Amino acid sequence: MPTYYKVATASDGTVIQAQKNCSDGTDDIDRGAFGVVLAVPENNTWYQGTVLPSPAGTEQRPMLCAVVPAEGSAYCNAHFSSGPYRDSNGNLAGDDTDPHNRFRPKQAVKMRENVDTLTAGGYTTCYGGDLNTTTQDVSYLSTLYTGHQECGQPTPASPHAGEATDGGNKIDYIFGPQGPSYACRVIDSGLSDHRMINLTTS
Instruction: Enter the pTM of the model.
Output: 0.85
Instruction: Give me the pLDDT at residue 187, please.
Output: 92
**Contacts with 160 (C-beta within 8 Å, 6 or more apart), sequence order:** 135, 138, 145, 150, 152, 153
Render each residue's pLDDT in the chain as its tens digit; 202 residues.
999 887 788 899 888 888 877 766 666 677 788 899 999 888 888 999 999 998 877 888 999 999 999 989 999 999 998 876 666 666 666 555 676 778 999 999 999 999 999 999 999 999 999 999 888 888 899 999 998 989 888 888 888 878 889 888 899 999 998 877 778 899 998 888 899 998 888 7
Instruction: Give me the pLDDT at residue 16, please.
Output: 83
Instruction: Give me the pLDDT at residue 104, please.
Output: 92
Domains for the chain: give ranges and CATH numbers.
36-201 (3.60.10.10)
Instruction: Give me the pLDDT at residue 12, please.
Output: 92
- By the 8 A CB rule, do 62 and 17 touch? no
Instruction: Give me the pLDDT at residue 195, please.
Output: 93
Instruction: Give me the pLDDT at residue 88, please.
Output: 62
Measuring CA to CA, which residue among 23, 92, 15 is closest to residue 55?
15
Q: How far apart are the C-alpha atoms of 196 and 164, rounded to whole Å? A: 10
First to last CA, the chain: 30
